[in-house]
């Protein structure tokens, strides 16, 4: 996509998985630099404040977002961007393709000193996440996936993007008893009732979008959340999981749609499955 005319990425024109695949390393570099930005300031010196919805935002969120917005403007000039911390810059309507960004997902985990917070960038075309990038800065890991192209986990150094380890990943066929990843801070009664209906081997709490990555690499079989969340929290994870052979649906089994500005980018509920056959057989 580098070198593509600016007007080819505006006015509702679509970005394809093949186009993203050609720029995958450049997009990875942007996310890597954003990951480095989240770690640049010692936690004890990170400034924080509460947003109007009382959720926390920090200087690390803002530093990561600045890197991502600048990088996307260079690589994909003209692409609409929906970012959690800059919603006022989002277009009134999204046609064609857009980037959906959460510069620091799991701010509570970050402030608690846990290593589960992530940086998320997704490319969405016609409402479908076609590519996702999720970095876990404190773990030195980055997952990236493009629908129909590739999906892998990288272990790398954020400062210069040096890759130490590259591993193709794949979601696993679900065993009889399921390994379930659940939200550490947003586990609700509806989700608990759903879990009570399932044959579980184990369940474990985890923060942020990293749960999608655990399902995508076959460490977990299921990640349900039946309470509202925002598109930027899950778009990148949906793309990575789909590229790894999994599926994310609403509780009735219907596909999710993204870029829905009229709904304020809210997703009422979702279930992420590693095994689509188990998804097809289950209805919440």
- Which is nearest to 97 in space by CA: 35, 4, 216, 170? 4
Which residues lie below 8 Å from residue 270, measured CB to CB, with a gap of 6+?
Answer: 224, 225, 229, 234, 248, 249, 250, 251, 256
The H or E element containing residue 204 is strand 200-206
Q: What is the pLDDT of residue 2?
A: 37
Predicted confidence at residue 85, as pLDDT, reads 86
Given this model, what pLDDT does residue 58 score? 93
Cα→Cα distances 85→80, 81, 101, 242, Å: 15, 11, 9, 26
First to last CA, the chain: 40
User: In which element (H, E) is residue 167 found?
Assistant: strand 162-168
Q: What is the pTM of this model?
A: 0.94
Beta bridge pairs of residue 134:
120, 143
Helices 24-39 + 59-75 axis angle, to 10: 160
- Where the chain has pLDDT below 70, the residues are 1-12, 54, 284
Task: Provide the CB-side half-sphere exposure for 168 (13 A, CA).
Answer: 4
Q: Which pLDDT score is estimated for 11?
A: 40
pLDDT of residue 284: 64
């Amino acid at each position: 996509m580098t070198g593509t005319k600016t007007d080819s990425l505006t006015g509702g024109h679509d970005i394809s998985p093949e186009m993203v695949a050609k720029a995958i390393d450049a997009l990875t570099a942007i996310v890597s630099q954003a990951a480095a930005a989240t770690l640049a300031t010692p936690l004890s010196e990170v400034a924080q404040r509460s947003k109007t919805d009382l959720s926390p935002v920090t200087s690390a969120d803002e530093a990561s977002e600045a890197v991502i917005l600048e990088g996307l403007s260079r690589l994909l000039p003209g692409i609409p961007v929906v970012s959690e911390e800059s919603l006022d810059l989002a277009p009134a309507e999204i046609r064609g393709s857009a980037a959906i960004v959460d510069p620091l997902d799991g701010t509570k985990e970050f402030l608690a000193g846990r290593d589960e917070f992530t940086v998320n960038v997704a490319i969405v075309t016609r409402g479908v996440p076609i590519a996702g990038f999720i970095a876990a800065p404190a773990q030195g890991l980055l997952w990236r996936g493009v629908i129909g192209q590739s999906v892998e986990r990288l272990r790398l150094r954020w400062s210069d993007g040096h890759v130490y380890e590259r591993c193709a990943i794949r979601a696993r066929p679900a065993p009889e008893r399921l390994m379930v990843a659940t939200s550490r801070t947003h586990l609700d009664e509806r989700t608990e009732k759903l879990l009570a209906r399932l044959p579980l081997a184990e369940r474990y709490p985890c923060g942020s979008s990293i749960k999608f990555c655990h399902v995508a690499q076959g460490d977990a079989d299921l990640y349900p959340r039946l309470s509202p969340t925002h598109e930027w929290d899950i778009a990148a994870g949906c793309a990575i999981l789909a590229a790894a052979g999994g599926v994310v649906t609403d509780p009735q089994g219907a596909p999710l749609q993204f870029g829905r500005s009229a709904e304020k980018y809210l997703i009422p509920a979702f279930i992420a499955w590693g095994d689509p056959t188990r998804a097809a057989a289950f209805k919440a």
